[in-house]
């Protein structure tokens, strides 16, 4: 698996902020052994995608935030209005943040699909 760019400092900060004072309590909550979780939090091991998703969901954050791809810890809501998401979120494609120009192009493409292809 390629390097996820996982940010161990953000993980520890959020774990404590969300009220999981002891790492062993959080490890239990996400279904990991204490030693496995500790190795993730201290940076000696990267989480699998499934573990990353579980951690993000438990901490009510996004995987992008935990991987350093976004500075917004707010989790993406799948029921958000797409136009609002495109205007307010930092969108990432292949690890690169989309510029405002690219975001506008994406909005135009989505509008094209909505009006011409989706019925």
Q: Parse the chain into domains and list their residue ranges.
A: 8-66, 82-116
Check residue 79 and give its pLDDT: 56
pLDDT of residue 114: 74
Which has more pLDDT, 1 or 56? Answer: 56
pLDDT of residue 76: 67
Kindly report the pTM of this predicted structure: 0.64
Average predicted confidence (pLDDT) for the chain? 83
Reduced DSSP (H G I as helix, E B as strand, rest coil) percent helix, strand, coil of the chain, to 5: 55, 5, 45
Asked whether 40 and 51 are in contact (CB, 8 A), the reply is yes
Q: Give the DSSP H/E element, type plus range, for residue 37.
A: helix 34-41
pLDDT class of 113 with cuts at 50, 70, 90:
confident
State the angle between helix axes of 8-17 and 34-41 in degrees (0 to 180), rounded to the nearest 10: 120
Nearest alpha carbon to residue 38 among 18, 8, 58, 60 = 8
Domain 8-66 has CATH 2.60.40.10: no
Q: What share of the chain has pLDDT > 70, as a percent?
A: 83
Identify the burial level of 79 via C-beta atoms within 10 angstroms of its C-beta, where 0-12 means exposed, 13-18 middle and 19 or more buried: exposed
Q: Residue 74's pLDDT is what?
A: 84
| 41-95 per-position pLDDT tens digit | 999 999 998 999 999 999 999 998 999 888 888 876 655 566 676 766 677 777 7
């Amino acid at each position: 698996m390629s390097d996820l760019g996982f940010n161990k400092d953000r993980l520890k900060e959020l774990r404590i902020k969300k009220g999981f004072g002891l790492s062993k309590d959080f490890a239990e909550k996400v279904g990991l052994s204490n030693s496995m979780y500790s190795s993730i939090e201290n940076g000696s091991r990267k989480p699998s995608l499934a573990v990353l998703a579980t951690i993000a969901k438990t901490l009510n954050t996004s995987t992008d935030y935990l991987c350093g791809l976004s500075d917004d810890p707010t989790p993406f809501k799948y029921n958000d209005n797409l136009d609002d998401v495109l205007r307010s979120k930092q969108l990432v494609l292949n690890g690169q943040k989309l510029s405002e120009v690219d975001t506008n192009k994406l909005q135009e493409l989505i509008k094209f699909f909505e009006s011409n292809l989706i019925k």
